[in-house]
Amino acid sequence: ARDLAIDSFVVKGYFNLSAQFKHLNGVIQANYVMPEAIVDQQGYCIDKKLLEQVARKISGVDGNIVESVNEPGKTWAPLPYDLLALQQDVSKRLKISAKQVLDIAQVLYEKHKLTTYPRVDSRYLEESMFSDVPAIMKSLVAIDPSVAEIIGRINTELKGRAWNTTKVEESDHHAMMPLAVDESFDLSILNKNERTVYQMIRDRFLMQFCEAYEFNTTKITIDCVDEQFVATGKVDKYLGWKGVFAVEDDEEKPKKGQEAPQKLPDVKADDAVQEVGSEITNGKTKPPARFTEATLLAAMANVGSLVEDPKMKQILGSKGGLGTPATRAAVIERLIEIQGIERQGQKLISTAKGKMVIAKLPAVLTTPETTAIWEMALDQIEKGKVTYEAFMSQQVDFVCKLVEFGKGVAKQRTLEAKA
């Protein structure tokens, strides 16, 4: 479905207008708030002349600050890893498959005893395990002295949001974390990828002992001859965990073609400003991105977001989507094995064979709603409202109908071939 959406996507050109306004305390870069009259149904302005008229209208003209809103915010360190989050991050960093990530995590757990059980879907830790922290910290420094500098900057007595037994009980296992091991353990026996994955699990655990990152976001609205412009900016107040760990934050990283948040001058409502320059830029709409292993794993876990029916959406959300942390990577590998999809670099692309199969199958076999219906039936069995025999009888009938459908498709293909 993603590839079909990309193949049928029609690129559309559009234009934006930005302007610089001089204030006593500095220059403000602001974007034009386009009225509905000049944009299409998707919110794009496709007529450059309309923006050129606005640019001429405001050129060198005085305006004023309508409002300046400052809002404090904070973000805590990302939680410890479950298997999905680890596969997503490692796949992006090391350019390896989700199955390879699982295999490495399994080696760290089974062979080296460095980390806890990896096939988990929880990102929280048992509160009772907090008493193990001193021993774990001591062990981490013993096998890797470079960690001492990090541990010296965190608060090992801070019991943050990751320690939540109630959240763990919603799953089968707690999140991944490093273990206290024999202090003579030699990390050099790990290969490069194993060591990287271990360090990622370890550092994510250590982040839980850091204070939150705090910041201020500012939004300034400017009126200039009845045309509105908006500027946004962000100022760090306290780096917290970001000051200890050099971690890329995808949510805050400016997207391609966007500028990093600007540092705005101190202003207040009714302050005077003057337009000192403007620029019209052009862009093109972009199709959805091809799936990578990381994004496909996320889509499988959150498949409810692709379903419109509220009840089906709720069921798929409560059941953790398609597959489990232990099986999702195997599903992807199986699809590659049967040539339904293929790897092209980091991208996963559906093959001609895969597209043909999906096109020929009935929708009931290719949509996540069927998974939700079966999950609902299994819940009914668990609650004693439906018998196992009744459920299986329905499945036998269902399969028989599918076989008859398949025979019809095969017959039609034979007739087409003869024709």
DSSP at 202 = H
**378: Cα separation from own chain's centroid:** 30
Among residues 14, 44, 109, 117, the one annotated as catalytic is 117
User: HSE of 252 in the Cβ direction (CA atoms, 13 Å)?
Assistant: 16
Spatial contact of 14 and 297, defined as CB atoms under 8 Å apart = no
The neighbouring-strand residues paired with 228 are 223
CA–CA dist 27, 278 (Å, integer) = 12
CB atoms within 10 A of CB 191: 10
238 is an active site residue:
no
**Which among 371, 374, 362 is positioned nearest to 409, based on CA atoms?**
362
Task: Report the SS3 class of residue 172.
Answer: coil
**133: Cα separation from own chain's centroid:** 30
User: Could you give the C-alpha distances from 112 to 6, 189, 335, in angstroms and in order?
Assistant: 44, 10, 31
Spell 287-299 as b/e; 16+ CB within 10 A means b. eeebbbbbbbbbe
CA–CA dist 353, 134 (Å, integer) = 55
**308: Cα separation from own chain's centroid:** 20
Spatial contact of 320 and 121, defined as CB atoms under 8 Å apart = yes
**Which regions of 241-385 does DSSP assign to beta strands (E)?**
272-284, 291-292, 341-344, 347-350
Q: List active site positions.
A: 117
